[in-house]
């Protein structure tokens, strides 16, 4: 018998009716002769409601107690789903993260999985039971309850699939698969039949919210096949695996974008070895993530560096830099807001030179000014004004013929 891991997000289990619907899907998978492990999130907005409750008690609740509080959300879902399956005559047992043997770092709020002890789950599967595991949580080696941070339920599902050597991990969500770009913004977006781990990882890192990058990275490292599909609509989803056939020989297979980006420029820095290290080590030590980086020599002894970061990090970034201005020996720091990042992604870029030039030409033809550029083997990112983000994506989507893909149902 094959083991199938299925994950259902908060929207998919947001009501009793939806939990009953999930139970029907799980039952069908069992009837097909599979052993099934289900990972679920908290119902709907439960986690947000718990965070609000905590804020009414304390301005700065401890991370340990927040983990104790937030893990209760998933426990509600696992028990209700177990009841729904039992009501259908199926054997089912719910398990918290620690009961399922998920061992994590003792880092409250953003712990990483370090081991999964599968014995309890394997015993229950051998007895013919569906095992329902609370996503987003585990416990440290010292027995402390922990949460895995953003995307934790996706990561839980992929990690369990790897540990149990499952045939596949199905991620059920409120979209029907992975699209060439976000269909909420671009009407001509098309669902992909398949996509590689590397392409999906780039898309996830560059703004596509279908899967969390940690889950994709885990899947790639352990060669777990992922299927992203809708929990509501009966449609074929998108398969994520190591090698995929090029759909219609497309060089670019997806376009990701994100807004709320800020460009920061530090000018008048000493033009010396170690200057960049000093700047970005300082920002890293304060937990500030930066993205695109460009350095320029502005005089024989002086240089400048520009980088992008999220709008939410702007205030802290400026504060940290100004506080250490004398130490870093720069003259001025300025910023430009209301920017967005638009990225084209495709493994076909490796063997097809000129893709970046084509992207720049398309944007120029639409009079879209590029502020900064970043590249890798399979992606090109451009920083543009936020107001032209959607027109830029539309133009690139058409020019790279992504709107001509066969519509999947």
Domain residue spans in the chain?
3-174, 244-409
Closest residue by Cα to residue 107 from 148, 69, 135, 60: 148
Q: Which residue has the higher pLDDT, 249 or 31?
A: 31
Closest residue by Cα to residue 42 from 82, 10, 84, 8: 10
409 pLDDT higher than 60: no
Share of the chain above pLDDT 90, in %: 85
The number of residues making up the chain comes to: 409
The pair of three-digit structure tokens given for residue 135, joined into one six-digit string: 């996503």
Residues with Cβ within 8 Å of residue 284, at least 6 apart in sequence: none
Q: On the CB side of 41, how many CA atoms lie within 13 Å of its CA?
A: 28
Residue 221: CB atoms within 10 Å: 11
**Predicted pLDDT at 248:** 54
Quote the CA–CA distance of 296 and 110 in Å, as a whole number.
36
**Predicted pLDDT at 408:** 58
Distances (CA, A) of 358 to 108, 229, 376: 46, 32, 16
| Biggest distance spanned by C-alpha atoms of the chain | 78
Tens-digit pLDDT profile for residues 52-73: 999 999 999 999 999 999 999 9
Quote the CA–CA distance of 144 and 98 in Å, as a whole number.
9
131 pLDDT higher than 70: yes
DSSP 370: P
Q: How confident is the model at residue 245 (pLDDT cuts 50, 70, 90)?
A: low
**Mean pLDDT of the residues in the chain:** 93
CATH class of 244-409: alpha beta
Q: How confident is the model at residue 149 (pLDDT cuts 50, 70, 90)?
A: confident
Instruction: Say if pTM beats, i.e. exceeds, 0.75.
Output: yes
Tens-digit pLDDT profile for residues 341-379: 999 999 889 888 899 999 999 999 999 999 999 999 999
Q: What is the mean pLDDT of residues 4-13?
A: 96
Q: How confident is the model at residue 246 (pLDDT cuts 50, 70, 90)?
A: low
Residue 299: CB atoms within 10 Å: 9
Residue 406: CB atoms within 10 Å: 10
The helix (run of H) or strand (run of E) holding residue 336 is: strand 332-345
**Predicted pLDDT at 233:** 87
Q: Does CATH number 3.40.1160.10 belong to domain 3-174? A: yes
247 pLDDT higher than 60: no
18 pLDDT higher than 60: yes
């Amino acid at each position: 018998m094959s083991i199938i891991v299925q994950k259902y997000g908060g929207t998919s289990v947001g009501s009793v009716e939806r939990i009953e619907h999930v139970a029907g899907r799980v039952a069908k998978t069992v009837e097909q002769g599979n052993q099934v492990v289900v990972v679920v999130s908290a119902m709907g907005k439960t986690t947000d409601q718990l965070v609000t409750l905590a804020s009414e008690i304390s301005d700065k609740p401890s991370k340990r107690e927040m983990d104790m509080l937030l893990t209760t959300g998933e426990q509600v879902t696992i028990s209700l789903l177990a009841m729904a399956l039992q009501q259908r005559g199926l054997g089912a047992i719910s398990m918290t993260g620690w009961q399922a043997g998920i061992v994590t770092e003792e880092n409250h709020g953003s712990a990483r999985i370090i081991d999964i002890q599968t014995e309890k789950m394997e015993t229950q599967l051998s007895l013919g039971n569906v095992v329902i595991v609370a996503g987003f949580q585990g416990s440290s080696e010292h027995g402390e309850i922990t949460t895995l941070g953003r995307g934790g339920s996706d990561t839980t599902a992929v990690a369990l699939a790897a540990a149990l050597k499952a045939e596949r991990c199905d991620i059920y969500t409120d979209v029907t698969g992975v699209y060439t770009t976000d269909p909420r913004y671009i009407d001509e977006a098309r669902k992909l039949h398949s996509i590689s781990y590397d392409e999906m990882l780039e898309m996830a890192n560059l703004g596509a919210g279908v899967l969390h990058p940690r889950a994709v990275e885990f899947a790639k490292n352990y060669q777990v096949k992922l299927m992203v599909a809708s929990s509501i609509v009966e449609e074929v989803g998108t398969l994520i695996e190591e090698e995929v056939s090029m759909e219609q020989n497309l060089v670019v297979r997806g376009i990701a974008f994100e807004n709320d980006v800020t460009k920061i420029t530090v000018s008048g820095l000493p033009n010396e070895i170690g200057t960049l290290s000093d700047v970005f080590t300082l920002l890293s030590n304060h937990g500030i993530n930066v993205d695109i980086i460009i350095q320029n020599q502005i005089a024989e002894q002086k240089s400048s560096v520009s980088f992008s970061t999220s709008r939410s990090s702007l205030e802290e970034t400026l504060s940290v830099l100004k506080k250490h201005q004398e130490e870093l020996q720069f003259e001025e720091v300025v910023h430009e807001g209301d920017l967005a990042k638009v990225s084209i992604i495709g493994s076909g870029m490796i063997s097809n030179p000129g893709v970046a030039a084509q992207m720049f030409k398309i944007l120029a033809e639409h009079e879209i000014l590029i502020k900064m550029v970043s590249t890798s083997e399979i992606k090109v990112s451009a920083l543009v004004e936020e107001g032209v983000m959607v027109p830029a994506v539309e133009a690139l989507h058409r020019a790279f013929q992504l709107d001509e893909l066969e519509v999947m149902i």
